[in-house]
Amino acid sequence: MTSTMTESKRLDPRNLISPPYRTCPKCSHGNFGVFIISGARYTRRCRDCWHTAEFPLPKLRKKIIYLDQFVISNLMKLKNPATPGHTIHSWGTSGIQYPCR
């Protein structure tokens, strides 16, 4: 008869703190890493003394628009009448319109 052992694992909350690490302003150890990034700020926490501090994220300056392959493929269908699917796409006053499915 074989027995199965269940191994319990514990989550170490220090594993949720990631690099880049800086010097902690409280304990001076080099384990002051990124804990949470959300909205317009991020939180750093020390893996040793648990000192926590929040910092603002820089304002976004959008200069690049990323177009994925879905957009590029459908733009090519608009430009090339020989492409299958050309007839189901139309160029209207509001931009590209796709059929409802």
In a domain, 38, yes or no: yes
**Mean pLDDT over each residue of the chain, to the nearest integer:** 81
Give the angle 72-73-75 at the CA atoms, nearest 5°: 65
In a domain, 76, yes or no: no
pLDDT of 84 over the 90 cut: no
What phi and psi, each to the nearest 5 degrees, are found at residue 33?
-110, 180
In a domain, 26, yes or no: yes
Q: Give the pLDDT band of residue 72 (cuts 50, 70, 90).
A: confident
Residue 28 belongs to domain spanning: 14-56
In a domain, 48, yes or no: yes
In a domain, 77, yes or no: no
d(CA 77, CA 96): 11
Structural domains counted in the chain: 1
- The per-residue pLDDT for range 6-47, each reduced to its tens digit, is 778 888 888 999 999 999 999 999 999 999 999 899 999 999
pTM of the model: 0.53
In a domain, 8, yes or no: no
In a domain, 63, yes or no: no
Structure confidence at residue 100 (pLDDT): 46
In a domain, 29, yes or no: yes
